[in-house]
Structure 1
Amino acid sequence: MPNFYFDYRDIFRAPRLALSGKKLFIQTSGFVLGYLGYLFLTYTAYLFSEISISETWDSYGLFPLYDFVFNNWISWAIWGAGVVFMLVSWLLTNTCVAKVTYEQLKGDEFYSAKEAVRFLKKNWKTVLLSPLSILLMFIFLLACGLLIGLLGKIPVLGEIGFALFFGLPIFVVALFAVYIVFVLFNSLILAPAIVGTLPEDSFETIVQSFSTTWNQPWRFFLYTGILGVLAKVGSFIFGYFCFRAIQLTIWVCGIFMSDKLYNLIEGGLAYLPYNPSVTNYMTNLFAGISFGFQIPAPSEGVALNWSGEIAAFILGITFVLIGFVIFSYALAIISAGQAISFVIIYKKKEGENLLQRKTDEEDAEFVTETKKGKKLKLQSELAGGSE
C-alpha cells in the first residue's frame, strides 16, 4: 500500500479498511455463529438448573447475558463452555479479517473471504494453541505454588524453607506468573494479527506475543487505545446512519401503513434487550456525553394477530442482526487495526517490512507459474526442433 508510514498514522486507516462488505460479512458471520453457540449452551445450562426454556425466554429473551441464577456446577460448566465457544469463534474470525486486511495492505484488493477461510483451515490450530499454551504455562506455575504451599506445611523445615526461598525463586516466579497473565490477555488480541500477517507455528506466535509485550509495550497499548476510540466512534457513526435509515423507512412506509406499521415496530423492538445504561452507552458518542440518538423503549401489550406476531418476530430478528452488524464493525476495526499495528511493530522490532514478504500462497503461485513457463518453453522448443 502506498504511503505506509509505519507509525501511529497508519492506525487511522482501520475504520476505512474495516468498512467493507467482505470484512463485515466475515466478522458478522463469526459473531453470529459464536453467539448462537453461546445462546444454545446458556439455555441448556438453565435446563440443567431445572429452569424451563419458557421461563428463561420470559426472563432473558435472546440475550441471557447477566443475572445468572444457575444452582449447580454443571450449569456453570455448560455456560462456561458457551463463553469459550464464543471466544474461539471470535479469535478465528479475527484471524480471517486480519488476513484479508494484510493482503489488502500488500495490494491484493481481491483477496476473497473464501481464501481467508481456506487460510484459516490451515492455521486455526496456531491461533488457538498459542493463547492456550500461555494459559497452560500459568497453570503450571500455579501448580508449583500449590506444591510449595504443601511443602510449607512440614513442621519446622516448611516455614523456614518458605522464608528462605521466598525472595528467590518464589517471588521472582510469582512475578513472572503475573507477567504471563498480562501476555495471555494481550495474546487474545495479538494472536489473530500475528497469524494473519506472519503465518508461523504456535511457538513463533507465542514468541512474538512475549516479544511485542516486552519490547514494544507502549506502542502496543497506544495503538490498541487508539483502536478502541476509533471502534467506538466508528460504530457510533455507523449505528447513527442505520438508525436514521430505519427512521426513514418507517416514515415513508408509515404514510400508508400507519398504526399497523407502528404496532409491528413496537412488537419487533420487544425482542431487543432494553437496559438503559447499556443502551445509553451504545447510542451516545462517549459515556457522559449527551450526543447521540435514542432507541425507543418497547411498549407492553401491543395487540397483534397471528400474522402480526410472525412479522414482529421477523422484524425483531432483523433489528438484532442490524445491531450485530454495527457491533461487528467495531470488532472489525480492532481486527484490521491490530493487523496494521503488528506490521508496524514488527518493522520496529525486526527491521523487516512484512508488506514486502511473500506469503506461502504467493510462493506456491510463483512456483506453479515457473513450472508452466518452463513447460511451455520446452514444448515450443520441441515443436521448433520437429520442424
Structure 2
Amino acid sequence: MLEKKLHFNYKDIFLAPRIGLSPKKICIFILSNLTGYIGYWVLSFLAMIVSNVNIIEALYDYGLYPYLAGNDYSTFSWIIFYFGILFWLYCLLISSTAISSLTIRQLRGEHFHSINEAIDDALKKWKTILFSPITFVFILLSLFLIGSFFALIGRIPYIGSILLAITYPLYFFGAIFLLFTFLVFLSSFLMLPSLVGVHNEDTVGSVFQSYKILYNQPWRLIFYNLLLLPLIVISLNIFSWFYETGFAMINFIFAELIGSTFSNVLSYATSILNIDFILDNISVLQNFTFQLKTISLDIIGFFVFLFNETTNLLVSTLPDLTYNSDGGYITSIETVSGLIISIILIFIYISFISYGFSILAVGETIIFIIFKKLIENEDLIIHNSSNNSIDDDSKNSSIDESSAKVLGLSTEDE
C-alpha cells in the first residue's frame, strides 16, 4: 500500500480531524476513558470515606461526578484523590501511545493493525510512559534542592556572601534551565505518546527528545498546537450537532409511537446522567487551578488561565442529550429501562469525548513527524515503510529457501 504524502508543514495539521474520526481510535479512547473514570470514581469516594464522609450521602450528592473541595478532608484523602486523577491521565497517555502507533501505520498505508495489537504495543512500553514524567519531576526537584542548598551556604558568616557573589551567575543560568525544564515537562505530555508509539524511544530517549524538540522548534510547537485547538473545538461542535440531531429524531419518533412510557424512561435516564451537574460545577475545577497562582510564578498562572479557557471551550461543545417529560408515575420496569439507557448515554458521551482526544493524539503524532523531518531530515513514514518492505522481502526469501529445501533443490538449481 502507498503511504500518505505529507507536506511537513502546518497544512498537515488539518488531517487530524479526519484521521481521528476512526472507530478503532475512538474505541481505544473509550476503553481508556472508561478505565480511568472508574478508577477515579472509586478512589474519589474512597478519599471521602477516609475523611469519615457518609458514603450514602456522598453518593446522593455527587453521583457519577465525585470530587473533593473545601477544607474538610485529610491530607491522605487528597493524596488518594490526586492519585485517581493521575491514574486517569496515565490511562490517556497509554491510549494516546496506541493511537500514535495506529496513526503512523495508517499514514504509511497499513490499515489492518487491530485495536488489541495497538493496545498491546502500548502496554509493553508502560514503563517508559510512566517513568518519563517522573524523570522530569526528579530533575525539577533536584534543581530546586541544589539551589536551596547553595542558598543555605550563603548564610555562612563572612565567606557566605562572597561565595554567593561568585556563584551568582550559576544560580541565574540554573534558574533559566529550571524554567526551561518546566516548559519541557509540560510539552512532554503532548509529545511523549508520539515519541514512544512512533519512534519507540525509551525513558532516557524520551526525555532527551523532549528537550530537543522544544529547543529546536519552540514557535512551531506553540503555533501548531494553537492551530490544533480550534480544529478540535470546531470538529467537536460538528460532532455534537450530529449527536443532538440524532437524539432529537429518535425522541420525536419514539415519543409519538410509544407515548408516555418512552418519555418516562428517557427522562429518568437523563436525570441519572445529570449532565447539567458538570456545566454548573466546572467552576470548582477552575477555582482549584486559580489557587495555584497564589503559590506559583506568573508563568504557571498563565498556563492555569490557558487551561481554564480551554476547559470552557471544550465543555461548551458537549451535546445536550437531556429530555424532560411531564412527569407521572414510573413503573419498576421503566426504572430498569431508564438505568439501561443511562448506561448507554454514558457510553455516548464518552465516545464524544474520545473523539476529541483522538484528534489531539493524531494531531500530536503528525506534529512529531513534521519535527523529525525538520530537525533531523528523517521521514518516519518512508523510513518505516522501507523497513517493512525489507522485512517482507526477508520473509519471502526465507520462504523460498525453505521451499527449495523441501523440494531437495538448491537456490542455484532454481
TM-score exceeds 0.5: yes
- Contact kept? 1:63, 1:273, Cα under 8 Å: no
Structure 2: distance between partners of 1:36 and 1:362: 42
Structure 1: distance between partners of 2:383 and 2:232: 29
Which of 298-307 and 142-151 deviates more? 298-307
Aligned to 2:19: 17
Aligned to 2:228: 227
Which of 49-58 and 22-31 deviates more? 49-58
Structure 1 residues 198 and 291, CA, compared in 2 at 3 Å: closer, same or farther?
closer
Structure 2: distance between partners of 1:142 and 1:342: 30
Structure 1: distance between partners of 2:393 and 2:328: 64
Share of identical aligned residues, percent? 27
Report the alpha carbon displacement of residue 59 of structure 1 after superposing the two structures with TM. Answer: 1.8
Amino acid in the other structure paired with 2:202: D
Structure 2: distance between partners of 1:43 and 1:380: 68
Structure 2: distance between partners of 1:310 and 1:292: 26
Aligned to 1:49: 51
Structure 1: distance between partners of 2:51 and 2:324: 30
Structure 1 residues 125 and 302, CA, compared in 2 at 3 Å: closer, same or farther?
farther
TM-score (norm 1): 0.89
- Contact kept? 1:70, 1:76, Cα under 8 Å: no
Structure 1 residues 190 and 68, CA, compared in 2 at 3 Å: closer, same or farther?
farther
Q: Secondary structure at the match of 1:107?
A: coil
Structure 1 residues 15 and 310, CA, compared in 2 at 3 Å: closer, same or farther?
same
TM-score (norm 2): 0.83
Report the alpha carbon displacement of residue 71 of structure 1 after superposing the two structures with TM. Answer: 1.7
> 1:33-182 to 2 correspondence within 5 Å?
33-65=35-67, 67=69, 70-166=72-168, 168-182=169-183
Report the alpha carbon displacement of residue 203 of structure 1 after superposing the two structures with TM. Answer: 1.8
Aligned to 1:358: 384
Structure 2: distance between partners of 1:19 and 1:63: 27
Report the alpha carbon displacement of residue 343 of structure 1 after superposing the two structures with TM. Answer: 0.7
Report the alpha carbon displacement of residue 312 of structure 1 after superposing the two structures with TM. Answer: 2.0
Structure 2: distance between partners of 1:95 and 1:127: 9
Q: Secondary structure at the match of 2:97?
A: helix
Report the alpha carbon displacement of residue 69 of structure 1 after superposing the two structures with TM. Answer: 5.4
Amino acid in the other structure paired with 1:377: A
Report the alpha carbon displacement of residue 253 of structure 1 after superposing the two structures with TM. Answer: 1.0
Which of 305-314 and 103-112 deviates more? 305-314
Amino acid in the other structure paired with 1:328: S
Structure 1 residues 129 and 5, CA, compared in 2 at 3 Å: closer, same or farther?
same
- Contact kept? 2:44, 2:68, Cα under 8 Å: no
Structure 2: distance between partners of 1:267 and 1:159: 71
Structure 1 residues 69 and 232, CA, compared in 2 at 3 Å: closer, same or farther?
farther
Amino acid in the other structure paired with 1:320: I
Structure 1 residues 370 and 117, CA, compared in 2 at 3 Å: closer, same or farther?
farther
Q: How many residues align?
A: 378
- Contact kept? 2:100, 2:193, Cα under 8 Å: yes
Give deviations 1:310-349, integer Å, cap 9, x for gaps: 2222222222221111111000000011111111111011
Q: CA RMSD in A?
A: 2.9
Report the alpha carbon displacement of residue 189 of structure 1 after superposing the two structures with TM. Answer: 0.8
Give deviations 1:6-52, integer Å, cap 9, x for gaps: 11111111111111111110111111111111111111000001112
Aligned to 2:335: 309
Aligned to 1:282: none
Aligned to 1:196: 197
- Contact kept? 1:45, 1:70, Cα under 8 Å: no
Report the alpha carbon displacement of residue 122 of structure 1 after superposing the two structures with TM. Answer: 2.7
Report the alpha carbon displacement of residue 204 of structure 1 after superposing the two structures with TM. Answer: 1.8
Aligned to 1:256: 257
Structure 1 residues 230 and 347, CA, compared in 2 at 3 Å: closer, same or farther?
same
Instruction: List runs of 5+ in structure 2 lacking aligned partners.
Output: 283-311
Structure 1 residues 300 and 90, CA, compared in 2 at 3 Å: closer, same or farther?
farther
- Contact kept? 2:263, 2:325, Cα under 8 Å: no
Q: Residue 334 of structure 1: which of 341, 360, 364 is its match?
A: 360
Amino acid in the other structure paired with 2:233: K
Give deviations 1:258-301, integer Å, cap 9, x for gaps: 2222222221122223144679xxxxxx95xx999755486898
Q: Secondary structure at the match of 1:382?
A: coil
Report the alpha carbon displacement of residue 121 of structure 1 after superposing the two structures with TM. Answer: 3.1
Amino acid in the other structure paired with 1:136: F
- Contact kept? 2:404, 2:410, Cα under 8 Å: no
